[in-house]
Amino acid sequence: MKSAVKSSKVNRAWLNDHVNDTYVKLAQKDGYRARAAYKLKEIDENLHLIKPGQLVVDLGSTPGAWSQYVRRKMSPKSAQGGGAAAGALNGRIIALDILPMAPIEDVLFIQGDIREDAVLAELAGHLQGQLADVVISDMAPNLSGIDSADAARIEHLVELALEFAQSHLKPQGALVAKVFHGGSYDTLVKRFRDMFVTVKCIKPKASRDRSSETFLVGLVQKKGTFPCVR
């Protein structure tokens, strides 16, 4: 009984924090599906990653806030203030998630598990031989609370994003991936540094203080790590 009461109090506290969260209110105002849009927005505004005319791949896209943000940035004439940007899209956006995602205009969505070869092959097919300018990954596992198991799950998903980028990202491109401080963090930072000339670690203001999440950004692949461009 005490456990149930404690859980109820925690849920009420979380709901109260969520409803009163500045970024939740901003997302509602701007038409974004989630506050996560502002995490990518801050990263992009710092590093100027996303531009019209690009091919952007969004891994772990559901519910779609990151794709919405990219859609707006790649529509120069889009109306300001709307998360689901209006106007013609200049570029391509391909999104993938294991969960369903409501349609976003001009965003090609694939529902599937990136850990499956058939899903990766489908994603590669939609690239039509083109290399991505930017790969963004907000993928995260369901955390169990068991540090060693969670670290392994986190590391595996980030490794998949790195492997995808190594095969399908332009040499001068950028990879943005969500990671968590913990047992796998130093290993993942090293992997980024092995692959990219420049590595940035960014904790956006929209990322809650109590969250251990942060974002690694890799810029320009080191010679010998990127795919051959025919």
The question of whether 178 is a catalytic residue gets the answer yes
Residue 25 falls inside a structural domain: yes
Distance CA 180, CA 61 (A): 18
Residue 36 falls inside a structural domain: yes
Residue 54 falls inside a structural domain: yes
Q: Which of 178, 190, 200, 203 is catalytic?
A: 178
List, for residues 41-67, the tens digit of each pLDDT value.
999 999 999 999 999 999 999 999 999
Distance CA 70, CA 99 (A): 20
Please state the φ and ψ torsions of residue 63, each to the nearest 5 degrees: -85, -5
pTM: 0.86
List, for residues 64-78, the tens digit of each pLDDT value.
999 999 999 999 765
Residue 82 falls inside a structural domain: yes
Average pLDDT of the residues in 200-227:
89
Residue 226 falls inside a structural domain: no
Domain count, the chain: 1
pLDDT, residue 170, reads 98
Residue 228 falls inside a structural domain: no
CA dihedral angle for residue 98, residue 101, residue 107, residue 112, rounded to 10 degrees: 20
Average pLDDT across the chain, whole number: 87
pLDDT, residue 9, reads 46
List, for residues 94-142, the tens digit of each pLDDT value.
999 999 999 999 999 999 999 999 999 999 999 999 999 999 999 988 7
**Closest of 181, 162, 178 to residue 221, by C-alpha:** 162
CATH code (residue 86): 3.40.50.150
93 and 74 in contact (C-beta within 8 Å)?
yes
110 and 122 in contact (C-beta within 8 Å)?
yes
Host domain of residue 66: 2-221
The percentage of residues in the chain with a pLDDT greater than 70, rounded to a whole number, is: 84
Average pLDDT of the residues in 190-216:
94
Residue 49 falls inside a structural domain: yes
User: Token digits for 9?
Assistant: 């109090």
**pLDDT confidence tier of residue 15, bands split at 50, 70 and 90:** very low
Residue 230 falls inside a structural domain: no
